[in-house]
Each structure stands twice: as structure tokens, then as C-alpha cells.
Amino acid sequence: MIRNVIFILLIVFGASVQTFAQRENSALPDTASIRKSLDLIGLPFTPAEILQMQRGIADQKRSYETLRKTDIPNQWIPSIGFNPIPAGYKVPGFAKKSDWPKFDNFQKPDHEDDIAFLTVPELAQLIATKKITSTELTKLYLKRLKQYRDTLLCVVTITEELALRQAAEADKEIAAGKYRGLLHGIPYGVKDLMSVPGYPTTWGAAPYKDQRIEETANVVAKLTEAGAVLVAKLTSGALAMGDVWFGGTTRNPWNLKRGSSGSSAGPSSATAAGLVAFAIGTETLGSIVSPSTRCGVTGLRTTFGRVGRTGTMALSWSMDKIGPICRNAVDCAIVLNAICGLDPQDPATTNTGFSYQSLKSLKGLKIGYLKNNFDQNSPNKKADSLALEVFRELGAAIVPVTLPDQYPVQAMRIILSAEAAAAFDGLTLSNRDSLLNAQEAFDWPNTFRTARLIPAVEYIQANRIREQLVIETNRVMQDFDLIITPTFAGNQLTLTNLTGHPCLVIPDGFDKDGNPLSISLIGNLYREDVLCEAGSLYQDKTGFFRKKPSLFSR
């Protein structure tokens, strides 16, 4: 009897073990699927190794599914970060007080169009001497924003109520003798990646067109403290790519048949057309440099970590940068002076200061130029070569130089793809990415999906190579005050965005069809002052920044 019971129990236990094993095996990925996945990422593991991987892959899948149950907002920062400062690099100190250009006895132009295209110091002089009030100036820009918003498609929201309130407060303070500085009472716009309470923050994308984030972006808060007046939230290409947003394509004031490029499409277009005195853009991989070039304005991509990003849409935590888009280099310096510094909520920021000194010549500066890029046979070659000669005429010692070329710079763009896919994983998994206008192979929806197949190991390896790129680039840069390059030649644009170096892009002429061209100045980490000082001398000598698109000026 006992023997029979034991026999039955053994049969039942054996059946249970077999059933458990069958269930367990059925949850494992089949080896053919693993092999196909490995083929996609180019890894030649053996059949025995693949068989051994089954259980681990199943465990990882369960972890992924668990993680996806957590709602992760865009503003959550990963616990890993990028630091552009290599070991031994001495962060500059800025003990001197800024020496801004002065425009004593500057007279108010008779025509509104001429006022709209003045530089920040010129406008500041008019306000400080009470030749115009901030309210009058704000109403002028509001009028132009309303007049041309449909022509250029560069405006998402006009912040009229806020602007008039801030302008009235500026006038009251200035009348009482409380003058905050050169930006006090100056109207500006921000790329609509930055949140402002009471107004939509659309990120340029249809899924977010009604989104409201009741938080003041760090950069907006700092400009408010400086007394500047926010008149508009300006277009961004959808999720910081290109010049296409949910309202259409932002147009170029110099040629309405062309887009403004992006993704800081609205800030560049609006500044070029005299709809704002200056604007704030962002760059991850060319989003200030490219539209500034296309629209003929001056853009400053700041050192990574120079300007706090709290309240600004994240695309790539290790590559996103905020910077000014202005009429000229001096304006960029004035704006940077107001917005740089520590952001308690952005661990990438530092407390590094800033100061600007007006130069009379470039004598004593050592400037490198990327000879290989200048030697390329491009349509801009003549203008770029003439720009180089101007810098020589201004007294600088200019010598050829080469940036590190031993690293796979373009391949490291997977860092951006992986981080962007993580930033918008919720959009992908919910299928709301189908609401985005652009749906081609290299647009965000497919890029986010494709990035899901970037192995974590390759992402880390790319960042390990990136660190060596940072070290080697700084080794080259430390011998120069700045380096000049044609804006889009070679791989310097990708390289310097990966290393976090600042770049000033300035107009250097026009092509045969009247479209603006630019030259780029690359600086050492935190040395935007040198870029702006040298760029200002170049601009004073050439005057290209004074040119206005004819459709928007008299």
C-alpha cells in the first residue's frame, strides 16, 4: 500500500517537474530568434553560446517589462552624466568686470523698422536715456510678431499679457533709478522647448501641442531677473529636429521659399526678421549653428553645462546645450552673461563666471584654422577664405591645425540616438509618435524605434571613446585662443558637440542667390568671451550683421 502511494507521488511529482520545465522552456526565446538579433548588431556567437544565453535573455526581458511600468517624465535626469572637463584642465576665472561697448549720444531712428534691427547695447542706450520706453519697444515687437507670424510660421505663442506686464515693471523700475543692466526692458523670445507658467510648451510636436508645464525654465528665470521682457515662444522643429513643426515649416526671412533650418528655427527666423531683439535657442547637434547660418544671424553654442537646462525639454542629457541667437557677437555675450552659471536642478552646470572685454585688435591672439576644411571645394570657399584674411588683417597670428581624426566621430552619434530614444520612450511605446508630421526613415519616430536595437554595451563603449576624444581635442585646443573653420566642412560640428566645446557662428557674406553664409569660431571650454571678443572685431570690420532681409525692413 505504502509502496503504491510512493509510486503515485513520484509519478505526480515527475509530471509536475516536467510541466514546470515545459512552461519554463516555453518562456525562453528560441535560439533562431537570438541568432537573428545577434546578426542585426553584428555579433558572431557560437550555437553553444547562444543556447546558454536563453535564460539570461528571458530574465532581462522580465526586467524590461517591469521598468516600463514606471512612468518616467522627460525632466527626470539619468544618474550618469557627461563632464567636458578633462583631468588637469584649469577652468578659467573671470575677475575683470565686463567692458561693454558704449553708444553715448545714440539717437533714436525715425522709422520703426530701423529700431527693430538695433543691437542690444543700442536699444539699451535708448531705454536708459529715456528716448524710448520698454513698453513702447515691446509694443513695436508685438506688432511685428503679429504682422509676420503667418508669413514666417516662426511663432507658437505671443505672450502679450506677460510682456506688457514685464515692460511696465521695467519702466517703473528704470524711472525709479533701479536699472538692472543692458537687458533691462529688452524684448526677446524663447524656443518653445522652455516652459513658462500660463502658456503652452509644445516642443514643436503635435502630441504635445496642448501641453502646459507650470514651471519657469531656468534660462527664462535668469532673463526675468535681468529685466528682459518675454514677448513670444518661438517655433522648434518637432522634438528639436529640423524646421518642421505641427504648424508647418518655419520660413527663412531671406527667401520665403526656403525653410529656416533647425531646430532653433523660430529663434533664428524671428531674430533675422526683426521680430525680437534676441532669442534663446538650443543645440544638440547643429540646432543653433545651422539655422543661424541659414537666417544670417549670430548664434552662440555655449560650453556644455554653461547654461542650466531645468524647464527645457531634454533630448540628449549629455549633449543638449542652450545659447543665444542675436544680431551680433556682443549681443550674444550680453545674453550669456545673464543666463550662465549654476542651476541647482541641473548637475551638469558649474558656477563659472563670465566677462567681456572690448578689443581694439587681435594682436597677441593665436588662432588656428582647419586647413583641410578650408581647402575643400565648396560653394562657400571664397567667402570663407576672405573671412580668414580679415582675421589676419586684425592682427592675429593664424596657423593651420588639425583636430583629432583617429576616432570614429560619426559612429558616436549613437549616443544621441540612444538618449533621445530614452527621453521619448513613452511616446514610442504608446504609438503617439504617429502624430508627428515627419515619418520618414530618418525622422524621430523611426529613429527612436531603431535606437531600441543599440546595445547598452555599445553605448558605453562609444562614451569611453568620447572621453578620449575630449582629452585629445583639449590637448589641441589649449595651444590656441580659438580655431576658425568653415561651418559645415569636415566633421568638426559633430566632434565639438560631442566634446562640449563652444562655437560662435557669424555671417561672412552671401551666395550668388543672396542667401547668407557663415564662418564658425571654436573656443576652449568656458572661453565664449574670446569667441565673442574676436567675433565682434570681425563683425565691426565686415558689417554683414547689419544687413536686413528686404521683405521685413524698409
pLDDT band at 4, cuts 50/70/90?
A: low
153 and 37 assigned to the same domain: no
Residue 269 lies in a domain: yes
Q: Is the pLDDT score of 10 beyond 50? A: no
Domain residue limits at 27: 2-67
Residues 229-248 have a mean pLDDT of: 98
Residue 105 lies in a domain: no
Cell reading at 15: 509530471
Q: Is the pLDDT score of 21 beyond 90? A: no
Angstrom distance (rounded) from CA 526 to CA 348:
13
Burial class (CB in 10 A: 0-12, 13-18, 19+), 11: exposed
Residue 413 lies in a domain: no
Residues 464-487 have a mean pLDDT of: 98
Note the pLDDT of residue 9: 43
183 and 328 assigned to the same domain: yes
Rounded to two decimals, the pTM is 0.94
Residue 310 lies in a domain: yes
Residue 511 lies in a domain: yes
207 and 272 assigned to the same domain: yes
CB 354 within 8 A of CB 529: yes
26 and 160 assigned to the same domain: no
116 and 210 assigned to the same domain: yes
Residue 109 DSSP code: P
366 and 301 assigned to the same domain: yes
CB contact set of 47 (below 8 Å; sequence gap of 6+): 31
Helix (H, G, I), strand (E, B) or coil at 510: strand
187 and 63 assigned to the same domain: no
Note the pLDDT of residue 280: 99
174 and 289 assigned to the same domain: yes
Question: Could you tell me what percentage of the chain is helix, strand and coil, using 3-state DSSP and rounding each to the nearest 5?
Answer: 45, 15, 40
pLDDT band at 26, cuts 50/70/90?
A: low
Residues 240-251 have a mean pLDDT of: 98
Helix (H, G, I), strand (E, B) or coil at 288: coil
403 and 316 assigned to the same domain: yes
Q: How many CA atoms lie within 13 A of 412 on its CB side?
A: 26
Q: At what angle do helices 31-40 and 47-67 cross, to 10 degrees?
A: 80
For 204-220, what is each residue's pLDDT tens digit? Answer: 999 999 999 999 999 99
255 and 403 assigned to the same domain: yes
Note the pLDDT of residue 118: 98
134 and 240 assigned to the same domain: yes
Helix (H, G, I), strand (E, B) or coil at 16: helix
Q: Which of 67, 96, 122 is where one domain is finished?
A: 67
Residues 456-462 have a mean pLDDT of: 97
**Mean pLDDT over all residues of the chain?**
94
pLDDT band at 104, cuts 50/70/90?
A: confident
Q: Which of 67, 84, 103 is where one domain is finished?
A: 67
Residues 244-254 have a mean pLDDT of: 98
Burial class (CB in 10 A: 0-12, 13-18, 19+), 83: middle
Residue 194 lies in a domain: yes
Q: Is the pLDDT score of 23 beyond 50? A: no
Q: Please tell me the total count of domains within the chain.
A: 2
In this structure, what CATH number is given to the domain that contains residue 256? Answer: 3.90.1300.10
Residue 72 lies in a domain: no
231 and 307 assigned to the same domain: yes
Helix (H, G, I), strand (E, B) or coil at 392: helix
Strand pairing category for 187-191 and 397-401: unpaired
